[in-house]
Structure formats: C-alpha cells, structure tokens
Amino acid sequence: MKKSLIAVAVVVAASAATAQTTDTLKKIKDSGSITLGTRESSGALAYTLGDGKYVGFHTEMAEHVVADLSKQLGTKIAIKYQPVTSQNRIPLVQNGTVDLECGSTTNNTARQKDVAFAVTTYVEEVRIAVKANSGITSVAQLAGKKVATTTGTTSVQTLRKHERATNVNFEEVFGKDHADAFLLLESGRADAFVMDGQILAGNISKSKNPADYKIVGEVLSVEPIACMLRKGDTAFQTAVNDSIKGMIKSGELAKLYDKWFMQPIPPSNTKVGLPLSDATKAAWANPNDKPMEEYAKK
Amino acid sequence: MAGGVPRTHGRQHLRRRPLGTWDWQLFLQDTGGGETYLQWMMSAWGWTLSVAVLALVLALAIGSLMGILRTAPSALLVAIGNCWTELFRNIPLLVQIFLWYHVLPSIFLVLRDVPSFVLVVFALGCFTSARISEQVKAGIQSLPRGQRYAGLAMGLTLPQTYRYVLLPMAFRIVIPPLTSESMNIIKNSSVAFAVSIAELTMFAMQASEETSRFEEIFIPVTALYFISAFAINRIAQVIEKRLRIPGQIGGK
C-alpha cells in the first residue's frame, strides 16, 4: 500500500516536472532568454575566442535560429552562452540548464533515448591525415603502422571496428585531446591521425607548415551532427527545424558554411579549407534527424 | 521507456535516472573489437596496476637511495640527493609525463623507440621518488644521533651502520607515510591516459563516450580504483604489524 502511494507520488511529481520543463518556447518567452549550449573547441563548428565570445558555423546558425524564434514569439530573446563538454552536454539539456545545444554532437540511437535532435546540418566524415611525404593513401597501407586518435571520441571505436573488419593490424596511440593527437603525428610518434575531417583540416591549417600534411584515403565513417534539444518538446523542435530549413532554402546556411569552412577565420585568420561534402549536401537536400546508425546501413 | 512511466526531469539537479533504467548489460556488449566492455575494463585495470606497481618499485628504490644520500656526511652526496628531490618535487606530474614523452625523446633520439609504458613508469616513479626521499630522510633524521655514533663506535663502517642500525629503525618509522604514497601512486597512475596508456581513466572516458552511459561506466571504475588503493593500504598494515618490535616506536 505504502509502496503504491509512493509510486503514485513519484509519477505525479515526475509528470509535473516534465510538464514544467518541456515547454521550452513558453520558458523562453517568459524569461526573455534562451540558454545556448556551445563548445569551446569543436573546430570550425563551434569554438571560443576567449572572453565569453563563442563563434563557429553552428554557433552562428544557432544565433539565426534564435532570431527566428524571437520573430515567432514576438519578443526579444537574449542568448546566454553555456559552454558544455562531451561529458555534461546530455545531462545539461535533459535537466533544463541548456535549451538548445549546437556544437559537434553526433546524432545516434543511444543518445536519441535521452534527447531529441534538430535536422542534421553537418555530416562529419572520419578521415585519415598523414605526412604528405609518407606515401600512405589508404587504410590498407596502415598495416603495421602507428595510428593516432583522440581519447573520448567515436573515432576510436570506428578505428577498432575497421581494424577488425579489414584485418589490417595497426598500433593505436591516443592523444588526450586533438592537439595532443596531432602532436603525435607531427613528432613522428604516429604515422597517421584518424579523426573528423574538419578537425584534421583545422589542425593542419594551424600547423607550422600545412603543406607537410595531407588528408587521404577512404571515408571511415559518417556521422550526422545536429543541434540537440530536450526530448518530447515537439513545438520547440518544429520551430528550430523550420528555422534551419528556412536557412537551407534561402541559401543562408550555404553562405555560413562558406564563411566558416572556406574563408579565413579568427583568431589566426587561417582557412579550414574543407569544401561542402556530398553527404552534407544530401542532408540539406532532404532535411531529417536520422541517427548515425541509419547512415551506416546503406 | 519502461512501463510508460515518464522519465524524471529534475529542473535544478542533474538528471537522476531511476535505478530500473540503468543499463548494466552494456558490459556484455561487444566494443567492436571482439571483446566486451567488461573484458576491456579488466584489461584497463591491469594496465593501471602494472603502471602503479612498477612505478612504486622504482620510486621506493630511487627514493630510499636519495633519502639516504641526504643524510650522508658528505656535502656532495647531500647535494645530489637534494637536487634530485627538488627537481622532481617542484614540477607538476602531468608536465613531467609530457616531458618524458614529448620533450626528452626529441632531445635524446634513442628514447623514441622506448614504449610509452616505460616512459610513464619512469615519470611516475621519479615523481614519487622525490616524495619518498623526503620521508626516508625525515625517518633517518628522527633517530637520536647517538645511534649513528654507537654503530660507528662498535667498529661498523658507515654503510654497515646504515644497514644494521639506522635503516631498520627508520623504515619502520616511515611505513605510514610510505603507505599513503603507495596509495597515491595508484591514483596518480590515472595521468598515464594522457600518453596513450589504456588504463582505467582512459577506459572510463572512452567507453562512456561510446555508450553514452556515464553512471554505469564511472561507478565500477571508481570502485576499482578504491579497491586497488585500499588493497595497498591493507598490505601495508600487514607489513607494519609483522615488522613491529616491542618497545620501539609503533611497537607494543
């Protein structure tokens, strides 16, 4: 008896709490502000210039989304930037601290159990970076070599699966972060660096001598990257998606892509130089929130 | 969602997942490399223990030697011991790891072929040796001066005095701080992940990212660290009890 009472109380409390947090649009309108989750160093997608300034392709896209939301709600919305990490981004979206997270989050089925995603706005391709004079051009040539990647990324898993599937044995070395992993390649401790294409391109563009490195070989995996929001808030999700679809249609998103990936960007005014991939083009042509697993199937 | 019960969204707190939604089965899942997450975690634990134990052996050897040198009657030996201790005591551990891994090999090219595991053992061992040296020195200095003179007066050489009179007493006195140091080395071994040792911290970061299940990964990892450090504590207590001499410090 007691147990069932507690159960009822928990369910009531839970649904009350859910009702309270899932109407993000109302929350934004009432408070006049939105908390935008962003990343401090996710390549050209989202990064900080210091002093609480956040920029990047996804950051600027999110700012456009917020501008559209203010039009829709008929009130001015202030943006509060909240830097997140890969460890805390999902809990912070779930508990209502962050309303919309636009960084470099991969949409996959495991995460879809906890959160919802806007339509995919960037498709990441995992590639191989090598020294230009190494002669390596494909995964097959990595046999017996040392391959660097970054701890805490899905590229480690990709690499592991590839190794098993292709029977190409290589030694994995891990950097604590992307800069460390690139240093492994730079210092000769690794023969290749396997990571998201835009992170490779970004690290190469910022290196002492960008011409010394090349991005080569097949695409090891594709990962749809999208903005993340709370699960079950259809109205908010639709509003965000409509805004993004509008930007795709008007060509605004393509302009933003060109600005952040093909033109010199701060702070060092170097170009990432990564042209729009076919996979990203396809995602824009047919906006969807399919998880990574569905990309692997085809 | 199980049973149609809505998931709780604590507004002010981090998410609290009801116990029933925890997914412990992920440990039986394949990582994609032909082993399960459980097997991977056990192997990571092995790396953690290997790094820690080897570094501890090195730290005890070098630390004791340096501690003894610092109490020797020769100014040169004292200076060597002091330099060693101050050098490794005043640089943060993570920086030392990077020095061994990235900087030294670019100066001494031979080190390039040394596995990172060995470099980490040296880095952690040298870092800890400075702390052990300090404790051993303090242990020897805490003995009454008369002990040294009595040994020498009996006709023992200085090394013999250390071997038969001073060290047996000093080491018994410093067992408790050495225990703390040995437990610290287990915990400090977590920095080894920074130079690609597949130890527990690295497992925790990587596996939680792959599975998106943070609690399920971090709880057992925390427990394994606790068990490892606590085991060292118990072993040290056994040693302390066995070595106790009635009537002396720590004895009954």
pLDDT, one tens digit per residue, over B183-202 is 999 999 999 998 889 999 99
CA distance B203 to chain A (A): 9
Whether residue B206 and residue A156 make contact (CB cut-off 8 A), yes or no, is yes
Q: Which of A65-69, B109-113, B217-221 has the lowest mean pLDDT?
A: B109-113
Q: Residue range B3-14: average pLDDT?
A: 42
Which of A95, A110, A173 lies closest to B13 in CB terms?
A95
Predicted confidence at residue A2, as pLDDT, reads 52
The pLDDT of residue A19 is above 50:
no
**pLDDT interval class at A154 (50, 70, 90):** confident
Residue with more model confidence, A162 or A247: A247
**Residues of chain A with C-beta less than 8 angstroms from the C-beta of B102:** 183, 187
Q: Residue range B137-163: average pLDDT?
A: 95
**Residues of chain B with C-beta less than 8 angstroms from the C-beta of A13:** 8
pLDDT, one tens digit per residue, over B200-233 is 999 999 998 888 888 899 999 999 999 999 999 9
Predicted confidence at residue A12, as pLDDT, reads 47
Complex ipTM value: 0.78
Mean pLDDT for all residues in chain B: 89
pLDDT, one tens digit per residue, over B83-92 is 999 999 999 9
Q: Residue range B55-82: average pLDDT?
A: 97
Predicted confidence at residue A110, as pLDDT, reads 85
Predicted confidence at residue B19, as pLDDT, reads 59
Predicted confidence at residue A7, as pLDDT, reads 53
**pLDDT interval class at A134 (50, 70, 90):** very high
Q: Residue range B103-110: average pLDDT?
A: 90
Whether residue A212 contacts residue A131, with contact meaning beta carbons closer than 8 Å, is answered with yes
The pLDDT of residue A105 is above 80:
yes
As a whole number of Å, the end-to-end CA separation of chain B is 62
Sheet hosting strand A192-196, strand order edge to edge: A171-175, A146-150, A192-196, A122-131, A213-225
The secondary element (H helix, E strand) that includes residue B168 is helix B167-173
Q: Which residues pair with A131 in a beta bridge?
A: A213
**pLDDT interval class at B126 (50, 70, 90):** very high
And the tokens for B165?
Answer: 């009179």
**Residues of chain B with C-beta less than 8 angstroms from the C-beta of A24:** none
Using CA atoms, how far apart are residues A111 and A231, in angstroms rounded to an integer? Answer: 10
Using CA atoms, how far apart are residues A77 and A59, in angstroms rounded to an integer? Answer: 16
Q: Which residue of A has its CA nearest to B202?
A: A151
**pLDDT interval class at B238 (50, 70, 90):** very high
Predicted confidence at residue B237, as pLDDT, reads 94
Q: Measuring CA to CA, which residue among A237, A245, A229 is closest to residue A35? A: A229
**pLDDT interval class at A120 (50, 70, 90):** very high
Torsion over CA of B202, B205, B211 and B216, rounded to 10 degrees? 100
Using CA atoms, how far apart are residues A106 and A86, in angstroms rounded to an integer? Answer: 10
**Residues of chain A with C-beta less than 8 angstroms from the C-beta of B193:** 151, 174, 176
**pLDDT interval class at A235 (50, 70, 90):** very high
Q: Residue range A159-165: average pLDDT?
A: 86
Using CA atoms, how far apart are residues A291 and A224, in angstroms rounded to an integer? Answer: 7
Predicted confidence at residue B1, as pLDDT, reads 35
Q: Which of A117-131, A156-170, A220-234 has the lowest mean pLDDT?
A: A156-170
Whether residue B31 and residue A157 make contact (CB cut-off 8 A), yes or no, is yes
Q: CA A203 from chain center: how many Å?
A: 17
CA distance B6 to chain A (A): 6
**Residues of chain A with C-beta less than 8 angstroms from the C-beta of B195:** 176
Enumerate residues 6+ apart whose C-beta is below 8 A from A112. A291
Beta-carbon contacts below 8 Å between A and B:
92
Whether residue A176 and residue B193 make contact (CB cut-off 8 A), yes or no, is yes
Q: Residue range A65-70: average pLDDT?
A: 96
Whether residue A157 and residue B5 make contact (CB cut-off 8 A), yes or no, is no
Q: A50: exposed, middle or buried (C-beta count within 10 Å: 0-12, 13-18, 19+)? A: exposed
Contacting A with CB below 8 Å, chain B residues are 5-15, 31-34, 102, 105-106, 112, 116, 193-196, 198, 202, 205-206, 208-214
Predicted confidence at residue A86, as pLDDT, reads 81
Whether residue A152 and residue B206 make contact (CB cut-off 8 A), yes or no, is yes
Predicted confidence at residue B10, as pLDDT, reads 40
Q: B169: exposed, middle or buried (C-beta count within 10 Å: 0-12, 13-18, 19+)? A: middle
Whether residue B205 and residue A151 make contact (CB cut-off 8 A), yes or no, is yes
Residue with more model confidence, A153 or B122: B122
How large a percentage of chain A has pLDDT more than 90? 73
The pLDDT of residue B14 is above 80:
no
Which of B12, B33, B214 lies closest to A87 in CB terms?
B214
Whether residue B194 and residue A156 make contact (CB cut-off 8 A), yes or no, is no
Which residue has 């990574």 as its token pair? A292
Q: Which residue of A has its CA nearest to B213?
A: A110
And the tokens for B237?
Answer: 């207590």
Q: Residue range B161-186: average pLDDT?
A: 95
Q: Residue range A280-298: average pLDDT?
A: 90
Whether residue A225 contacts residue A124, with contact meaning beta carbons closer than 8 Å, is answered with yes
**Residues of chain B with C-beta less than 8 angstroms from the C-beta of A86:** 209
